Structure 1
């Protein structure tokens, strides 16, 4: 169950898979996927799960099957570190790309991309610096208001704590403010930063199979 929200005169769909879909442009927006992060941790001797790259790509495939996507915009931090450039994760990415040759891919460089380096040309991605302007939106990595348009960004990996009767649950969330929105981290192994909405902002949490707005006082 997705949620529709109208921003800058355009209807956007907030998806429980922690992505945003813009039906009018058949565009999927994904923030902070961090391909190769788990592998980078394992290389340092930290025992973390295998298969996160395949898991992330399978989730993208689920969204491609559910929506008429022609264009994916990655809002920064596509690769986690330079070590990914010569890893099994990159080979998996290249195999996935070969099966989606007609799909347009755009990467808006984020802070991790600056260190990791651009993805190889074989992935056939358009790679740009922020802002990447499309319609009324400025696609960025860093969530800061810009004159070029309403900003859709990532970087923060926002999560919100729901509490009831002594129990609490941290869930990834979408945060919409005056001039910019922050998307949750899409990656399967990326963690989250607890956010506290300000007055006038709207917050939507992404549960397993639904998105719902949290009433804010």
Structure 2
């Protein structure tokens, strides 16, 4: 789904990310690496493999679009337990396959608790708002900026209803001054949203992005 904001063409991708063609930038919110490992460290029996799923999803997007930089809108690591050796080993192996790729993380609330990722991953860590061209890349949507804000944090989802049936899908929440991206990560959940006046909702089925009338 092509959308223009702040004079720039953007693509809202079914994989729950935004692609900025002119900058060859992939924008991803709330990937929460190591969340499942964090739960298992607390004794909660949740499935393994979410780190691999996240990395495979990134690989899929890199195969579809020319990407110079991936910009993560906060909550890159879920908690300190995300520094588990198996999680970091998978991330390092992925990084070594993409040494030319620029990686930037705008620190979010979970990053403050988890700490920065290891230097071996060669990730630039920045604070919000991170200004690039006409955009202010943030974790929290309520950051005030004269630039157009792209943010995460909320994990927005939208409930579609048809009679007695309903379906919850991740969504992009787009307003005149800001855009909130859905959570990219596997095993992250979502927060139902109702659009406010002036806001548009674009849901992702995983295969297409559609605007809700």
> TM-score interval w.r.t. the shorter chain?
over 0.9
Who is 1:55 aligned against? 53
Aligned to 1:175: 173
- Supply the distance in 2 between the matched residues of 1:114 and 1:184 (Cα, whole angstroms): 20
TM-score by length of 2: 0.98
1:83-140 Cα shifts (integer Å, max 9, x gaps): 1223311110011000000000000000000000001100001100001111100000
How much does 1:148 deviate?
A: 4.0
Paired with 1:211 and 1:195, the residues of 2 have a C-alpha distance of: 17
- 8 Å CA contact 1:106, 1:128 repeated in 2: yes
Determine the structure 2 residue equivalent to 1:111. 109
The answer to whether the Cα contact below 8 Å between 2:169 and 2:204 also exists between their aligned partners in 1 is yes
Deviations 1:30-70 (A, max 9, x none): 00000000111112221211100000000100000000001
**1:26 corresponding residue in structure 2:** 24
Asked if the contact 2:78/2:110 (under 8 Å) is kept, the reply is: yes
Counterpart position of 1:91 = 89
Preserved contact between residue 145 and residue 179 of structure 1 (Cα < 8 Å): no
Secondary structure in 2 matching 1:185:
coil
Runs of 4+, deviation exceeding 3 Å: none
Corresponding residue for residue 78 of structure 2: 80
The equivalent of 1:138 in structure 2 is 136
5+ residue gaps in structure 1? Answer: none
Shift in alpha-carbon separation, 1:190–1:91, aligned structure 2, 3 A: same
User: How many residues get paired?
Assistant: 213
Q: 2:102 matched to 1:129?
A: no
Q: Give unmatched runs, 5+ long, in structure 2.
A: none
User: Using the alignment, how far apart are the partners of 2:3 and 2:143 within structure 1?
Assistant: 19
Within 5 Å, give how 1:138-177 maps onto structure 2: 138-177=136-175
3-state secondary structure, aligned to 1:146: coil
SS in 2 for 1:62: helix
Distance between the aligned counterparts of 1:120 and 1:99, measured in 2? 17
